[in-house]
Structure 1
Amino acid sequence: MLSKQTLDARSFLRKELRDARRKLTIAEHEEASRGVMEQLNALSLLNNARTVAGYLVNDGEVNLKPYIDSQWETHPPKHFSLPVLHPICKGHLLFLSYSRHTKLVKNKYNIEEPALSCQSVIPTSQCDVILMPLVGFDLNGNRLGMGGGYYDRTLAFTQTTTGFHNPLCPSKPKIVGIAHDVQEVHSLPVAPWDVPLDAIVTPTRTLRF
């Protein structure tokens, strides 16, 4: 259980950092998107990844769409999925296959996501890499999300070794946070449920942990 002081500090930082990324100009957002694409193209853990979970831009996040579009042109192309609010397990996410032809709908947060289809579900454990947006980060690899806990609940299984002896799923997904450089802080107040990251990518650098 976090103290009220820690919760208040996280809420304050969340508001401050969301405001900072919203204040970036259109040109700065476009430059950030290009920079992150370059960093991701050089990230070794994505070299052999075939199934990658991404996200669609919202609330001033770094736009991953140019990177996703470029990876559809590779040989073989990467298979992408997007997060969808779980219709049964509240507070959790599903990942659904995403292509140029995927029908998108807006969820209750006004974020575009694939229309729900059981045939399109990709088990989270079968994603090689998960690219997730961050609200804030520090150089120790700590992260701050939007506050809903969706990714933390969905990825909590990565903190155990149970279920990773299946030859069809030999390893845990690698988790990579995506953020603007202005979202860095000296030190983040950490919560016990925060899922750690394997890397953080910004428009100018990649941090590995």
Structure 2
Amino acid sequence: MTFREMTPTSPSDKTAIRRELKRRRRILSAEQQKQAALALCQRLRKLPEICRARRISLYLPVNGEIDPTPLIPWLRQRRVAIYLPVLRPFSDNSLWFVAYGDTTPMVKNRFGIAEPCPRFAAQRRNRLPAWALDTLMVPLVGFDQHANRMGMGGGFYDRSLAFMRRPGPAPTLIGVAHACQQVDTLPIEPWDIPLNAVVSDTGVVRPTKTG
């Protein structure tokens, strides 16, 4: 049985699949990564949720994550405000969303990910509550045919977006990944925040409509 065909039913299953999918993206060559990023961004530019957004959060890739940053010049040309996730200090693994520009001072956080420096991020004028974003791009380790997401396991996005379980304003959530990170089915956990779509270098997956 391949990983694409597996449905994780236990923590050990999920750990094994997460390890394999992370390996798949890490072994992509620099040229494969570049071409995948360009193909991803071509698809993102056609997505209605991206085209109409005026405030977007994306991320800076690490460890083989697909790279959404080739989209930045196009967003700048359209005068879209760009934000990055930042580890919120003194919190239970949740995120701030902080303005990102050419002159934003950057540091590496405890995971080795570049993010706006704490002093810049702590200034309220430089950050936006997640509910005020139009569109939020979410990195992922794996996804399935129903646009369910497997994250890194830290729960950063799920905690930061828990407010979306209640009525009120909320961003559109777009998962982004390499096509090789797709599996057939993933379990849905009670704390999972659903995505509106997953976009890869080869296609777009939407949640299955019920009812």
Paired residue type of 1:39: R
Following superposition of structure 1 onto structure 2, how do residues 52-63 of structure 1 map, counting pairs within 5 Å? 52-63=56-67
SS of residue paired to 2:62: coil
Give the number of aligned pairs.
Answer: 196
* 1:96, distance to aligned residue in structure 2 (A): 0.4
Q: Match for residue 86 of structure 1? A: 88
Does residue 1:159 correspond to 2:157, yes or no? no
CA distance in 2, matches of 1:172, 1:125: 4
Paired residue type of 2:31: A
> Which of 45, 50, 53 is residue 54 of structure 2 equivalent to?
50
* 1:5, distance to aligned residue in structure 2 (A): 5.4
CA distance in 2, matches of 1:113, 1:69: 19
**Structure 1 portions without partners, runs of 5+:** 165-170
Q: TM-score, normalised by structure 2?
A: 0.89
**Contact 2:18–2:142 under 8 Å retained in 1:** yes
Q: Match for residue 192 of structure 1? A: 190
Q: For residues 104-127 of structure 1, what are the alpha-carbon distances to aligned partners after superposition, in whole Å with 9 as ceiling and x for unaligned?
A: 100000000011231311111110
Does residue 1:126 correspond to 2:128, yes or no? no
Q: TM-score, normalised by structure 1?
A: 0.90
Following superposition of structure 1 onto structure 2, how do residues 1-209 of structure 1 map, counting pairs within 5 Å? 6-74=10-78, 77-116=79-118, 117=120, 118=123, 119-161=125-167, 164=168, 171-209=169-207
SS of residue paired to 2:10: helix
**Contact 1:9–1:189 under 8 Å retained in 2:** no
Q: Which runs of 4+ in 1 moved over 4 A?
A: none
Identity %: 36
CA-based RMSD of the aligned residues comes to 1.3
CA distance in 2, matches of 1:36, 1:124: 23
**Contact 2:130–2:170 under 8 Å retained in 1:** no
Q: Match for residue 5 of structure 2? A: none
**Structure 2 portions without partners, runs of 5+:** 1-7
Paired residue type of 2:46: A
Q: For residues 179-209 of structure 1, what are the alpha-carbon distances to aligned partners after superposition, in whole Å with 9 as ceiling and x for unaligned?
A: 0000000111332211110010001111223
**Contact 1:93–1:151 under 8 Å retained in 2:** yes
SS of residue paired to 1:89: coil
